[in-house]
Structure 1
Amino acid sequence: MKLLGISGTIIGAKTGILVRRVLDEVKQQYPEVEVEFLNLMDYDLQFCDGRLPSTYSEDTRKVMEKVSSADFYIIGTPIFQGSIPGVLKNLFDLIHPNDFRNKVMGFVANGGTYQHYLVIENQLKPIAGYFRAYVAPGYVYANNEHFNEKNEIVHPDVLQRIGALAAEVIHMQKTLKGDYAKISH
């Protein structure tokens, strides 16, 4: 069972910090789960243009393979101008919809205002619905006030939501995996 945490930005540190914190919680509470962190800053992704996946650059193919082969996800995004960044949208465009089908997604986001959490409700959840993915009911949203000057998450409610999200995605994944195993026999 492989959980892939995705930091869906090429700028800033807070998104990656949030994603890694959820992954750390999973590692601590559920050591049997394999976790991997995918930081889009580390890759030079090409724009999706409809070509065959084999014709994209090595970096783009690596990312596509990591995402497609994961069993479930923690997807993180900053909120810019009331929306997700283009690099995350491009990633969604690069992945075949069937590769997300029936997989669990949990979301974390960070932004400059308290209202930007609505992007999770109004953009990310509908994208997951298009993919026919299962969405964890809870999510984590943090703004600048939830971090200290060292970019550490210090707000107790955010830390509690991180633990709750980790538990939700694990519970959903284990339950769905068990149900599918029973159905297929």
Structure 2
Amino acid sequence: MKLLGISGTIIGAKTSIVVQKVLEEVKKHHPNVEIELLDLRKYELQFCDGRNPSTYTGDTKKVLDIIQSADFYIIGTPIFQGSLSGPLKNLFDLINPKDIRHKVMGFVATGGTYQHYLVIENQLKPIAGFFRAFVAPGYVYVNNDHFNKDNEIIDQDVLNRISDLAKEVVFMQEALKSSEEKLETVI
């Protein structure tokens, strides 16, 4: 099983740190799970222009291939102006819905106010619904106050939620995989 963490921003480090922390928790408890971090800061994605996703080239094609190859996801975004980041929205627009249909997603977000956690409920979960993805019931919102000056997460409650999210996505993915295998033996 391959878990892909996506840090959906081209600036800052906090979102990537939180996504990486979830990946580390998964690896600690499930060493058989392959993990990979897709940090959008390292890629130059083209803007979505409505064409078939298979026609993109360069970094855009590389990123879409990485996403398609994963079995499940941890998706992170900073919250800007009460919404997900533009680069993450563009990435969602680039993805062929068939490539992530019926895959498990877990969400993390970072932001400067405590109210921005609602973006996960009101924007990210509906996007997952459009893709017909399975969404982990828990998620992690990390406020700037939860980091120290070295960008380390210092809030124990946040660390506990990160651990819980890691367990949830693996549990859901294993259950889904088991159900699919049972279905294949029946057919």
TM-score between both structures, scaled by the size of structure 1: 0.98
Partner Cα separation in structure 1 for residue 180 and residue 54 of structure 2: 31
Greater Cα shift, 50-59 or 113-122: 50-59
> Helix, strand or coil for the counterpart of 1:32?
coil
Any conservation in 1 of the 2:53–2:95 contact (CA below 8 Å)? no
Tell me the CA shift for residue 57 of structure 1: 2.9
Tell me the CA shift for residue 56 of structure 1: 2.1
Partner Cα separation in structure 1 for residue 133 and residue 53 of structure 2: 22
Partner of 2:15: 15
Partner Cα separation in structure 1 for residue 5 and residue 21 of structure 2: 10
Deviations 1:145-182 (A, max 9, x none): 00000000000000000000000000000001000110
| Amino acid in the other structure paired with 1:160 | N
Partner of 1:63: 63
Q: Is residue 2:51 matched to residue 1:45?
A: no
Partner of 2:24: 24
In the TM superposition, what are the counterparts of 1:54-133 in structure 2 within 5 Å? 54-133=54-133
Please, which runs of 5 or more residues in structure 2 have no aligned partner?
Answer: none
| Amino acid in the other structure paired with 2:87 | V
| Amino acid in the other structure paired with 1:55 | T
Q: Is residue 2:52 matched to residue 1:35?
A: no
Partner Cα separation in structure 2 for residue 82 and residue 40 of structure 1: 20
Q: Aligned-residue CA RMSD in angstroms?
A: 0.8
Partner of 1:156: 156
Partner of 2:179: 179
Deviations 1:59-113 (A, max 9, x none): 0000000011110000000000000111001101111011111000000000000
Partner of 2:165: 165
Tell me the CA shift for residue 119 of structure 1: 0.1
Q: How many residues align?
A: 185
Tell me the CA shift for residue 55 of structure 1: 3.4
> Helix, strand or coil for the counterpart of 1:89?
helix
Tell me the CA shift for residue 54 of structure 1: 4.3
Please, which runs of 5 or more residues in structure 1 have no aligned partner?
Answer: none
